[in-house]
């Protein structure tokens, strides 16, 4: 009987830990092992900002102003460039364990009266230089690229096919959308 009483606290503790662990597992984002992000995959698209939220999941409206000129990222084999901000921003990059690692970004030094463009400069530079996690997903037939930084900001870009992209040139075997 003493042995049973001594096991009771351990049994209760394991029962109490179970639901929390199950809840965490159910809510944790699942990575798609089949999706590999490479410079070739990124260079196939012009990535235009679709959504932006801060660490409290509040929409960053300042980044989404000027819907006719969305903030845009373009990638080549080793360069990233940002358009539709106040200044032209570019630099070298590489992908390291699912994170975007950039060199010191270069930018023009124009003064902008438009606060939306100025905010775009500040935010995208901060996010890019912070080594954000890269998440590739899709919404229907539209590829999405999300940059998630350590402060909880997430910037989601929708892919628009680049004119000079060639499907399958990096050995991808994924079916191409018509």
Question: What is the tens place of the pLDDT at every residue in 17-58?
Answer: 333 333 323 333 334 444 678 999 999 999 999 999 999 999
Return the structure tokens found at 85.
């901000």
Is residue 148 in some structural domain? yes
- Answer whether residue 23 is part of any domain: no
- Give the structural domain span for 96: 39-161
Q: 52 burial class (0-12, 13-18, 19+ CB within 10 angstroms)?
A: buried
Number of domains in the chain: 1
Domain presence at residue 60: yes
Res 54: pLDDT: 94
Q: What is the pTM of this model?
A: 0.72
pLDDT digits (tens, 9 = 90+) for 131-155: 999 999 999 999 999 999 999 999 9
Distance CA 115, CA 59 (A): 16
CATH number, domain of 116, equals 2.40.128.270
**Mean pLDDT for the chain overall:** 78
The conformation of residue 59, written as its DSSP 8-state character, comes to B
Residues 6+ apart with CB under 8 A from 122: none
């Amino acid at each position: 009987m003493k042995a049973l009483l001594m096991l009771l606290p351990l049994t209760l503790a394991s029962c109490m830990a179970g639901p929390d662990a199950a809840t965490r597992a159910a809510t944790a984002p699942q990575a798609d092992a089949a999706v590999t992000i490479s410079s070739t995959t990124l260079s196939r698209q012009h990535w235009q900002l679709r959504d932006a939220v801060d660490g409290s999941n509040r929409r960053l409206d300042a980044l989404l102003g000027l819907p006719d000129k969305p903030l845009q990222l373009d990638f080549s084999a080793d360069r990233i460039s940002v358009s539709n901000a106040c200044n032209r921003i570019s630099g070298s990059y590489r992908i390291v364990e699912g994170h975007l690692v950039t060199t010191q970004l270069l930018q023009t030094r124009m003064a902008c009266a438009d606060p939306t463009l100025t905010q775009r400069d500040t935010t995208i530079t901060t996010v890019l230089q912070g080594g954000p996690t890269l998440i590739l997903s899709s919404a229907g037939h539209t590829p999405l690229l999300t940059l998630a930084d350590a402060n909880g900001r997430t910037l989601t870009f929708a892919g628009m096919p680049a004119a000079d992209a060639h499907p399958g040139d990096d050995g991808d075997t994924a079916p191409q959308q018509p």
